[in-house]
Amino acid sequence: MSNIDQKDVEHIAGLARIKVNTKEKENLAKNLSDILNYVDKLKEVDTEGVEPIAHITGLEDVLRKDEIVGVFSEIEPESLVEQAPSSDKDNYVKVKSVFEDKK
């Protein structure tokens, strides 16, 4: 039995940067427990010596040169930076301060 309680939900929500209110915590604890109990049936399957899937048709180590190609050669950087909620004239995206004063 996998049981997710509201404390677990809070912890996961913190990791995932998801805000949850009390009602959502209750619902998520139940939903996630239900789903985890359902997927627990995989424990019945013997996977001793089985290689996990990496790429389903078997492609390996696909590389290309680090060059601007295809559609990207037609894009003006400004048009991408403009999509940010805050930017300056030098094409930098502005964010809130990353380091905060200790209170």
Partner 1 sequence: MDIKKLTIKSARETLDKKEITGKELHGEFLKLIKKENSKLNAFLSIHEDYKKVVDTGDILEDIPAAIKDNMLIAGSKCTAASKILENYIAPYDATVVSKLKKSGAVFMGKTNLDEFAMGSTTENSAFGPTLNPHDHKRVAGGSSGGSAAAVAAGLAVYALGSDTGGSIRNPASFSGVVGLKPTYGVVSRHGLIAMASSLDQIGPITKNVEDAAIVLNKIAGHDPLDSTSSPRAVPDYTASLGKSIEGLRVAVPKEFFGEGLDPDINNTVQKAISRLESLGAHVDQVSLPMTDYALAVYYIIVPSEISANMARYDGIRYGRSAHNKSKSLLDVYLDSRAEGLGEEVRRRIMLGTYVLSAGYYDAYYLKAQKVRALIKRDFDKIFEKFDVIVGPTVPTVAPKLGELDDPLAAYLADIYTVQINLAGVPAISVPCGEVDMDGSKMPVGMQIIGKHFDEEKVLQVAHAYEQNK
Site residues for partner 1 per CB under 8 A: 4, 8-9, 12-13, 15-19, 28, 31-32, 34-36, 38-45, 47, 50-57, 59, 62-64, 69-72, 74-75, 79-80, 83-86, 93, 95-98, 100
Cα separation values, 55 from 11, 28, 36, 59, Å: 32, 32, 25, 6
CB of 3 to partner 1, least distance (A): 12
Q: Are 80 and 72 in contact (CB under 8 A)?
A: no
Which CB sits closer to partner 1, 1 or 42?
42
